[in-house]
Structure 1
Amino acid sequence: MSNSRNGRAHLLQDARRIVVKVGSAVLTTQDGINRKTIIRLAGQLARLHDRGIGIVLVSSGAVAAGRTRIAETLGSSVAGAISDLPARQAASAVGQGRLMHDYDEAFGWFGKATAQILLTRDGLRDRKRFLNARNTLEQLLAWDVIPIINENDTVSVKELQFGDNDTLGAMAVGLIGADLYINLTSADGVFDKNPDKNPDAACMPLIENIAALDIDAMCDGKTASGSGGMYSKLRAARRAAQLGVPTLIVSGKNRFSLEHALDDNGPGTLVLPEDHTVSSKKFWMAYHDEPAGTITVDSGAARALTAKGKSLLPAGITTVKGCFEPGALVRICTQDDTTIGVGLTNYSSDDLNSIKGLRTSQIEALIGPVHYKEAVHRDNLLPDAAI
């Protein structure tokens, strides 16, 4: 892709599959779900679909729809008290059907069929279930159906939630092998600093190297809940970039036009993909779950991992934090807490604490023959992970 805005015009021409994520800030007003926005979005996506492009929509809004319905039936005081996880899950259960009804009706006016797909992080972390979800989506796309994905809030537990639909959108990119990720937001794009605090903040039309951005500084750190906002959108864009997929972050408010956003001089921010991409399987490995612990390594091990593409040996480990079993996803960092990457550990946290800093011969003398020389094998490691 060209490193200029001229590359934007080719996105739509070359795309065969697009994941579009739309958040609650776009879909809702103070009165609940904005059906006019849903109809307008359905029309935009239907026109892209008419070009032969496979469309997957990742949508928020179930909790908001449920809160509106609860206010209508049980009163505003009950709806206003919806804040903790069980209440939000219950509201999502109420609202999910209403949200899908609105989508199905809107897309039906444009001659399009839809399908509801509810996913959980716990389901996708199992490789067989991940592949089964992929096969289902492949069949729906082959039938020219538009899948509408949301997290299955009703059965998700806090520890295994995606956390936000930006994260789920990036996972969907890998799930279907998308060519483009469009994130519809309430902002006009990505700004070089927080526009709420800096009147001189400018929208960035192009981000050529998202890995080089200090996302924490641009977004004033994570949001209080650790989810949502521009931070999560940029993190999702970085993950998509690792798959070689560009991301367009553009406003979904007012009378937006996806086709205009894909013009050379269209609005929003285009995030270019990375030159060196990762496999879909390694992407799944790195982002299917939150790290269960942290392994800190010395400077020699850090160089071997980052510059030489080596595996992590126990000899290079200095400290181990967390409680985890073999096969768990762990964060690997330097002694100043800079993340090197994430990977699947061959040992439990207890075993690593026993053998850290030891060479293989020393380990065997201590505990006998070992099945794995590596604490984390390079085939099960993603350097520079966007976590």
Structure 2
Amino acid sequence: MIERHGEGRDLRSLDVPRVGSLLETSDVWEPYRLLDPAGTVVEPVAVYLKDLQGIGRPATTQRSYGMDLLRWFRFLWAVEVPWDQATRDEARDFSRWIQISDKPNRASAPATAVPNPVTGKAGPGRKYAPATRGHSESVLRGFYDFHRDVGSGPMVNPFPLVRCGSRAHAHHNPMDLHRNERSGLYRPRPVQRAPRSIPDEKFNEVFAQLGSNRDRALVAFWVSTGARASELLGAHYGDADPGQQLITVIRKGTRAIQQLPASPDAFVWLRLYQAQMHGLVPTRVDDPLWWTLRRPFTALSYHAAYRMFSRANAALGANWSLHDLRHTAAYRMARDPNMSLTDVQWVLGHAHLSTTQLYLNPLTEDVIAQALAHHARVAAGTVTATTIPKDGPSPLSYRPEALNILFGEGTA
């Protein structure tokens, strides 16, 4: 019998079955439904997802939140605690469980994320990433905040903020900016990762692996406009304007309509793709711009585009993502001396200039190359240590009297 109280719960032996599901419905009014093990809709989640839609969150956000909620409800079903009776004990144990347990179907993955030899990007390990855990904590705290406010959930949120007696950013670097707000008590410390860019020569190799004009057009647009993958995939036939070299997208966060300049070759590949599909798919201004290449023709989904780019990566043994194309575009624009940083900010749709400034930092591969070149110069004896006196000790040696003090063999 599972112990229902946190103090006596044995997480070592806890089995969390993969029961229930998040169902995609194709219904614009209810894009996703969370189902319990019996196949019944979980009403508290259904109400919450409707509220997300009401405040303007797209279906992709509802799916992301739904997956976090499914993971939480699976844990509650395993420990036999109703969702509205969950306390801080359950939130604490869930935070421990998601931190230590392996992800489903990851038994063959390495215990820790290992950098890819081609890209340097760490691949997925067996554990949940800090970003996944942090997103989950935020979603669950918001879920319980919503039900507390409408009076359908517990009066005390199981996922509390940091205690009033302590500061949320007590140990932050004073040189780093942060918002003056309290963070979640069980929220993991965020890991700052530098955006990854695809080097030009590697990008050419990946581009050569693409198997259709549609795929070449998509990648050319992504790497020249800096648009997010979902933004470009949501474009309609009338959104492409070859005459002005512009394509219109709807921004992910603000839902603002914005025209983005694209490279000439992107429109060349687009024209070749459209000629190939002429007469096979509708071409009204509000019809999708991107379609599957086989019958029955349907609008190209994100997951299909992701698999397309993954296949091109696999041929090179690489693991770049669609979002790395956005990073590549950002780095290229930020390093153009004739393009101001505020222009780059506008193209990328960043709300804060500080986000765009990340692309002024040196690229990881460039730093590694410079450091390796430095070591080669040291080995060849071509590095001059101008700060070390000719008759002074080697920079890698210690004075004998200092070693005597260290090991207790005398005094200086």
Q: TM-score, normalised on structure 2?
A: 0.23
Bigger share in strand: 1
Greater relative CO, 1 or 2 (CA 8 Å, sep 6+): 1
Which is greater in Rg?
A: 2
